[in-house]
Amino acid sequence: MSLKVSKRSSMGLKAVYQHIVDNILAVVTTSCLVAMVRLGPAELINWLRELPPAHLFLAGFVPAAAATLYLMLHPRAVYLIDYACFDTRPLARVPMASFIEYTKHTTTIDERSIRFMSRLLERSGLGEETCLPAAHHYVPTHKYCTLGNARAEFELVVFSTIDDLLAKTGVSPDAIDALVLNCSLFCPTPSLVDIIVNKYNLRSDVRSINLSGMGCSAGLIAVGLARNLLQVLPQGSRVLVVSTETITPNYYVGNERAMLLPNCLFRVGGVAAILSTSPVNARFRLKHVVRTLTGANDDSAYGACSRKRMTKGTSGSTSART
């Protein structure tokens, strides 16, 4: 019992200390005002008259310089204005039985692999309402996994999501100061961020960053990058963050189990969010972005997700536990 109480008290003291450090300028200013009020106007004026000119100058310059330096070095608060998720159409729904039936028409995938995929889907936790892109509604699927269909999937997901977000927040495309997008396995030319810039006629000075090849963790990386951009952009700037994965060009037609996992588990989806240093109309405040990079010393983590080409000419993405 005493250990729990001491732990709670230490956590409380830590929270109080963190609050004081985050608001040190307000604490110091409040202390100075309280001291001035206690002295009274007459005593304060007499005290200031008795000070030498050099001391009087320092009394005004040092606090002003300290306040300026604190405001320059102290990280700005970052807020989530709002977000929107991709809302799939009912016609894009692919039940488990339909998915397995379509897969049977891919002659390069043998019966043993199909049984493996069936067991995997039963234990995956995916429901019967999950959706797949248009190419997965045709037989045989792999013949429709073209670059054009991949672009169509990206545009459907991202454009509809951004449209919903802009309508929800009332933010115009001209008010976007930076754009950060992450899509791991689909990286065409023109880049995906350029497609968004062209679609919404974003400003010529917009900062645009395209993250690719970084797996599912790129969503967190994109948020951290947006936060860092907001530290150097003018106060009140807005960053549009888009996170998605285009699965059309990554359909695997071989029998390697590690490469069959993405076929079964990945579905259509995407999200867009607007981050800003202005708290006006904000829903949440971003407190921490924590990321641990283990790829330097852990080969299993480094190869957790990779794209490979097999000896029979098939290529796919592997997903492994670390």
Dist. CA 304–CA 155, nearest whole Å: 28
**Between 271 and 305, residue with greater pLDDT:** 271
pLDDT at 24 over 70: no
Cβ–Cβ under 8 Å, residues 104 and 292: no
From the list 86, 99, 80, the residue with the least C-alpha distance to 278 is 80
Number of helices and strands in the chain (H, E): 11, 8
In 10 A of CB 241, how many CB atoms? 23
Percent of all residues in the chain with a pLDDT value above 70, rounded to a whole number: 75
pLDDT at 4 over 50: no
Task: Give 204's DSSP letter.
Answer: T
Percent of all residues in the chain with a pLDDT value above 90, rounded to a whole number: 37
**Between 4 and 132, residue with greater pLDDT:** 132
**Between 316 and 164, residue with greater pLDDT:** 164
Task: Give 92's DSSP letter.
Answer: G
Confidence of residue 317 (pLDDT cuts 50, 70, 90): confident
Q: What is the 3-state secondary structure (H, E, C) of 100-115?
A: HHHHHCCCCCCHHHHH
**Between 307 and 185, residue with greater pLDDT:** 185
Dist. CA 208–CA 242, nearest whole Å: 11
Dist. CA 85–CA 273, nearest whole Å: 9
pLDDT at 37: 66
Highest mean pLDDT among 48-62, 140-154, 197-211: 197-211
Dist. CA 239–CA 241, nearest whole Å: 6
Q: Which fold has domain 80-319?
A: Peroxisomal Thiolase; Chain A, domain 1 (3.40.47)
Could you tell me the pTM of the whole model? 0.77
Helix axes 24-39, 2-22, angle to 10 degrees: 80
pLDDT at 143 over 90: no
Task: Give 138's DSSP letter.
Answer: S
In 10 A of CB 179, how many CB atoms? 25
What beta strand segments (E) does the chain contain?
78-85, 178-182, 207-211, 238-244, 270-276, 284-286, 305-309, 315-319
Q: Are strands 207-211 and 238-244 parallel, antiparallel or unpaired?
A: unpaired
User: What are the residue ranges spanned by the domains of the chain?
Assistant: 2-74, 80-319
pLDDT at 199 over 80: yes
- Least confident among 2-11, 16-25, 135-144, 276-285: 2-11
